[in-house]
């Protein structure tokens, strides 16, 4: 069930029953929340998990459907929001959620739902009756920080002020939160693809995360303007040595020369 296998599900199919009142289903509701390892099994054997509680993050990949009773979402919950087609219903017709939003869902596994993809092929997916759906950001859902270093280191060259506020080290990426202030009288520039991280004898170049839609620093920054954003790199070895972040700055005034902006980031106590 990859990204191109979008379902066109008839609304009546969305109105599934999450759980009944049988003794077996009541017992399932008292079992522990389904683990991430069990999610793979849900797609092949949904009925055995019906009534089990779930908490997961997912990415909405089609426009939500709504009626007077609720809102119905198709959500990818596996592989960083790229796989694992799951139908989510919630008794809230006014839920503010749109396509490409990332959400945290709390609820109960319901029946397996059958639908037809854009190629006319009948496919099935698990249904979840949600008690709560809330929007979150990409980092929270798919790349949580394993270690955060607060730095607030500031470097100022000829009115080009750059501050590395903090760094978040996730399993899949490294995020540098950068602030640039133009205190000069001319435009300045920042190009993230010139950025890199050094750890010992290893170098990690800038690696954009298109899926995350992090705030980006402006390429051209006018005098008096402050621009903030996230510069991303590959994952760093947290058991390795301290790291060094390297950034470059430019100005419309070609008579002004800049040295490389270098920030030292300790990893070990």
Measured over all CA atoms, what is the biggest interatomic distance in the chain, rounded to whole angstroms? 80
Q: Average pLDDT of 198-226?
A: 96
Q: Strand, coil or helix: what is 195? A: coil
Domain with CATH 2.60.40.4170 in the chain: 142-265
Q: Does domain 142-265 have CATH number 2.60.40.4170?
A: yes
pLDDT at 21 over 60: no
Dihedral pair phi/psi, residue 29, rounded to 5° = -65, -20
DSSP state at residue 245: E
Please report the pLDDT score of residue 28 as a whole number.
58
pTM of the model: 0.83
- Taking only the tens place, the pLDDT of each residue in 122-166 is 778 889 999 999 999 999 999 999 999 999 999 999 999 999 999
- Taking only the tens place, the pLDDT of each residue in 236-253 is 999 989 999 999 999 999
Domain with CATH 2.40.50.140 in the chain: 7-136
Q: Does domain 7-136 have CATH number 2.40.50.140?
A: yes
């Amino acid at each position: 069930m990859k990204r191109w296998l979008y379902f066109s599900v008839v609304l009546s199919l969305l109105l599934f029953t999450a759980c009944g009142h049988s003794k077996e289903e009541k017992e399932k509701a008292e079992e522990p929340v389904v683990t991430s390892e069990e999610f793979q099994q849900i797609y092949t054997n949904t009925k055995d998990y019906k009534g089990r509680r779930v908490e997961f993050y997912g990415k909405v990949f089609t426009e939500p459907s709504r009626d007077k009773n609720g809102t119905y979402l198709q959500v990818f919950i596996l592989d960083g929001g790229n796989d694992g087609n799951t139908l989510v219903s919630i008794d809230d017709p006014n839920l503010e959620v749109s396509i490409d939003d990332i959400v945290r869902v709390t609820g109960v596994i319901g029946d397996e739902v059958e639908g037809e993809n854009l190629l006319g092929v009948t496919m099935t997916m698990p249904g979840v009756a949600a008690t709560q759906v809330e929007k979150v950001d990409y980092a929270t859902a798919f790349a949580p920080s394993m270690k955060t270093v607060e730095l607030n280191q500031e470097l100022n060259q000829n009115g080009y002020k750059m501050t590395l506020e903090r760094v978040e080290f996730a399993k899949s990426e490294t995020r540098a939160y950068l602030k640039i202030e133009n205190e000069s009288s001319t435009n300045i520039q920042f190009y993230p693809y010139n950025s890199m991280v050094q750890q010992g004898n290893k170098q990690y170049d800038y690696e954009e995360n298109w899926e995350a839609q992090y705030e980006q620093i402006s390429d051209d920054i006018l005098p008096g303007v402050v621009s903030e954003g996230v510069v991303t790199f590959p994952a760093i070895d947290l058991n390795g040595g301290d790291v060094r972040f390297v950034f470059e700055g430019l100005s419309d005034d070609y008579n002004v020369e800049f040295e490389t902006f270098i920030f030292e980031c300790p990893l070990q106590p």
